[in-house]
Amino acid sequence: MIRLNENGSRIVTHKESGFEIRLPNNTLPFTDGKNLQAINLMFPYIILKKLNLHHVFFPLLKSGEVPSRSERRLSKKIIQSLGLTDTSILSSERIESLKRSFIILSTIRKYKSPKENLKQLAIISSKENELKQNTFFRVVEVIRESKNLSMDSIQEKLLSRFVERNLE
C-alpha cells in the first residue's frame, strides 16, 4: 500500500508486517531508481527481521524512514547476487526465492540460531556481530550457482566450503 502524506512524501507499507519505507524521491513516476531500490529493500529486510538478522544487514533502518543510499545499494546487490532481477518491484516468486536463500543461510546447523549460523559461515564477525560483505557475497554466489539442488545439498556444499576452514 502506498500513502501520500500532506508534505508530498510517499510511504510504502508492507501490510503483513506493518513495516513502512518512506520513498527517497517524490517525483512521478514514483518507481524511479531510488524509489524502486527502497521498495525492493523492504523484502529482504522483512525476511531478515523474521529470522532476527535485520540488525546485521541493516542496523540503522527504521520503519517509516528513508533508507540510506548504502542500505539501498546493499539490498540491490543482495537481490542481484542471487540472480534475481530488480528492474521492477519484486514478484511473489522472486520474494520466495529470496526467502529460500536466507533460510538456507540461517539453518546450516539446525540446532543453532540464525545468527550463530551466519557466524559459523564467517558471514558475521564473532565479536563485533558485523556483516562481512565479501564472505557473504561469496556464500550467496554458491547458493545462486546451486539453486537447482535441494536445500540439504546446498547446505552441505556451504558447510564444506566455508565452515570447515572457519571452525573456531
Span 51-58, average pLDDT? 86
Strands 2-4, 10-13: pairing is: antiparallel
> Is 162 a residue whose pLDDT tops 60?
yes
DSSP annotation of 88 reads S
> Is 64 a residue whose pLDDT tops 80?
yes
How confident is the model over 138-150, as pLDDT tens digits?
999 999 999 889 9
pTM of the model: 0.85
How confident is the model over 115-130, as pLDDT tens digits?
888 888 889 887 777 8
List the domain boundaries for the chain.
2-166
- pLDDT bracket for residue 164 (50, 70, 90): low
Sheet with 10-13: list strands edge to edge. 2-4, 10-13, 20-22
Span 152-164, average pLDDT? 85
Grid cell, residue 142, equals 554458491
Give the DSSP per-residue string, 135-162.
HHHHHHHHHHHTTTS-HHHHHHHHIIII
Span 37-49, average pLDDT? 92
- pLDDT bracket for residue 168 (50, 70, 90): very low
Residue 94 confidence (pLDDT) = 93
Beta strands in the chain (DSSP E): 2-4, 10-13, 20-22
Lowest model confidence (mean pLDDT) among 30-39, 54-63, 73-82, 152-161? 30-39
| Greater model confidence, 153 or 31 | 153
d(CA 86, CA 68): 18
How confident is the model over 79-107, as pLDDT tens digits?
999 999 888 889 999 999 999 999 998 88
> Is 163 a residue whose pLDDT tops 80?
no
Residue 143 confidence (pLDDT) = 92
Q: Please say whether the beta carbons of 109 and 47 come within 8 A.
A: no
